[in-house]
Structure 1
């Protein structure tokens, strides 16, 4: 029994150390120097579908950007709420804004991908920034992003935003996106090589050099993808362009979901396709998180009941690992205490996503059904 607990402690320490070391290869957006000279034209693109509740916050955050040579194109993708009307009201004649009425969704295209494709045809600026409607930006986001993009000589900059969370299920699941990246993705390979398998991106914030984006064919090359952000970043690498994944949490926030149902639908839509629809990978990850992130809670309960505090150590180390990620990414660190529940939620979502895919039930999002 002592061997078992020592084994758990050793592995938990290894996971913590690996996460810390991996984080050294995740650059952060930093306050741009006053001497930084960015004069290139930047086009900001926002696809919107039934986003009436986000219109005011989105338009306000875009108007607050201090970069001068900028334009904003927003596409209303057949919303059946008041999105379009509210956009016009909030823009209030600001000439930097263009509102586009989306075309009907063609067969074989995913909705967001088609919306982004239409947006990309509307402007030929030097840089193209795709953001989601639920994103809020620091006033100097463009300057900070261009500085890092140029420093790394990259053609795509992306990053997982800070996630303010309020719903209980959201608190368990949404911040795990940062955990998965910092724990599982080899950031050395992701940021210093053009190897496509070592790639991650977040569709809520993707800044492209226009020449490179159009050079690979833009969103049209991944027209049916449900994980369009990662697939587009991989396409960039396959075409020999450098991609940088950054910690953008100091500049970009994303209010992803408004209900627990949206959390469920959003993650079931992305998880199994994001894992390459691999049954073996879902089984492996389910076992991995069950053994190393759910079982430590049971071990700690046993240790407390039997007054053997050594058995509490694996749980404390998993909490420390999650807390490190949360502190690094602007999340509330007390959520790390719930790591076993987060792991349970992740395992359930992975398997639910897999079963929907295998049974050909499709994935529901924004009133559309995808296979």
Structure 2
């Protein structure tokens, strides 16, 4: 047991070191950087978002005012049934830059969001494409700052990770793991330079991509059956010779992804089964997380100083990740082992639901590729 705790604490130390390095290297959109005018198209896929789409588009209209070149805001109503279509009609009347499209039924072999994004992209301009989810609120300088960073770095795809709102206990336990997961495991400097698809992290809530690179990679056709289409799209860009990376977008965008335990569970149930490539891969990753971040605090409760050190290293990694990406650090980071156990339960729930054919999202059955 002593050896196990030592190995776990050593792994937590290595993860902390990477988190510290990433906190130093992470890219951040800067609204003070001058952007060269070029066509920009904002693409917003919407399905049953009557409560969110108004706020999303209101923020985008303000951001669009600051874009120095031609800009369009394309919104696709993906067969909404909650009155979203009426809200969109009113918004389109108020601003000629907002163009509303009616989505067509999802073809066989496609998942809903990828098909919605594909339909949007077919009507987009050259220049820069910006994909935005309806629950995202962009800052006034979001488009200018993010596009400037894309061009200044020579990247083909940039994922400015929005600040994640987390209010209740379930959200505060789980949502911070989104940024922490790549801040503590992916060397961002190397990932930015590397063409290896495996070195990819992205968030489709707010995604900025060069239009030519997007089409060269096959667009959403290349990721049509992927549940995590955002990461898959970055991997497709890398396979086609492009480069891309995740960035800290907390100053330019925010998102309240899920509200309460029921939505947290449903949201992660639809996707976690596919996050690590296969069931054996999922088991391996979850086991490693529990080794590094659950075993040490259990040992600490039994009087192990090495275990206590390992626990504090994990907490420190969470604090640094939160402070680097606009999240809440205290006292939430102290519950990191409980966060990992909750994540473990959500992952198991997702895998079981996948294997029993019970995966659904927004009224649709999810049937991505079996792995």
| Partner deviation per Cα, 1:140-193 (whole Å, 9 max, x = no partner) | 111111221112211111132110111221111111011110112232332111
Aligned-partner Cα distance in 2 for 1:205–1:186: 21
Q: Could you tell which deviates more after superposition, 251-260 or 48-57?
A: 251-260
Alignment partner, residue 289 of structure 2: 289
Superposed displacement of residue 116, structure 1: 0.5
Aligned-partner Cα distance in 2 for 1:128–1:355: 36
TM score, norm. by length of structure 1: 0.92
Alignment partner, residue 47 of structure 2: 49
The answer as to whether partners of 1:25 and 1:191 remain within 8 angstroms in 2 is no
Aligned-partner Cα distance in 2 for 1:71–1:358: 42
What secondary structure does 2:52 align onto?
helix
Residue-pair matches, total = 363
| Partner deviation per Cα, 1:45-74 (whole Å, 9 max, x = no partner) | 100000011022112111110214321011
Superposed displacement of residue 122, structure 1: 1.6
Aligned-partner Cα distance in 2 for 1:233–1:2: 41
Does 1:350 pair with 2:351? Answer: no
Aligned-partner Cα distance in 2 for 1:337–1:9: 16
The answer as to whether partners of 1:282 and 1:351 remain within 8 angstroms in 2 is no
Alignment partner, residue 116 of structure 2: 115
Superposed displacement of residue 4, structure 1: 6.4
Does 1:145 pair with 2:143? Answer: no
> 1:161-176 residue pairs with structure 2 within 5 A?
161-176=162-177
Superposed displacement of residue 363, structure 1: 1.9
The answer as to whether partners of 1:149 and 1:244 remain within 8 angstroms in 2 is no
Aligned-partner Cα distance in 2 for 1:125–1:4: 54
> 1:222-371 residue pairs with structure 2 within 5 A?
222-276=223-277, 278-303=278-303, 311-334=307-330, 335-359=332-356, 361-371=357-367
TM score, norm. by length of structure 2: 0.92
Does 1:29 pair with 2:29? Answer: yes
What secondary structure does 1:12 align onto?
helix
Q: Which runs of 5+ in 2 are unaligned?
A: none
Aligned-partner Cα distance in 2 for 1:208–1:18: 27
Aligned-partner Cα distance in 1 for 2:6–2:191: 33
Aligned-partner Cα distance in 1 for 2:131–2:118: 11
Superposed displacement of residue 258, structure 1: 2.8
Higher RCO (C-alpha 8 Å, min separation 6): 2
Q: Could you tell which deviates more after superposition, 250-259 or 291-300?
A: 291-300
Alignment partner, residue 83 of structure 2: 82
| Alignment root-mean-square deviation, CA | 2.0
User: Could you tell me which of 38, 41, 53 is aligned with 1:40?
Assistant: 38
What secondary structure does 2:43 align onto?
strand
Superposed displacement of residue 92, structure 1: 4.2
Aligned-partner Cα distance in 2 for 1:134–1:15: 31
Aligned-partner Cα distance in 1 for 2:5–2:232: 40
Aligned-partner Cα distance in 2 for 1:369–1:37: 42
Q: Could you tell which deviates more after superposition, 89-98 or 158-167?
A: 89-98
The answer as to whether partners of 2:92 and 2:99 remain within 8 angstroms in 1 is no
What secondary structure does 1:29 align onto?
coil
| Partner deviation per Cα, 1:10-41 (whole Å, 9 max, x = no partner) | 443332112212333421112323xx142101
Distance 1:207 1:8, change over 3 A: closer
Alignment partner, residue 12 of structure 1: 12
Superposed displacement of residue 5, structure 1: 5.7
Q: Could you tell which deviates more after superposition, 83-92 or 65-74?
A: 83-92
The answer as to whether partners of 2:275 and 2:282 remain within 8 angstroms in 1 is no
Aligned-partner Cα distance in 1 for 2:218–2:45: 19
The answer as to whether partners of 2:39 and 2:126 remain within 8 angstroms in 1 is yes
The answer as to whether partners of 1:226 and 1:273 remain within 8 angstroms in 2 is yes
Aligned-partner Cα distance in 2 for 1:354–1:323: 29
Q: Which runs of 5+ in 1 are unaligned?
A: none
Superposed displacement of residue 214, structure 1: 1.9
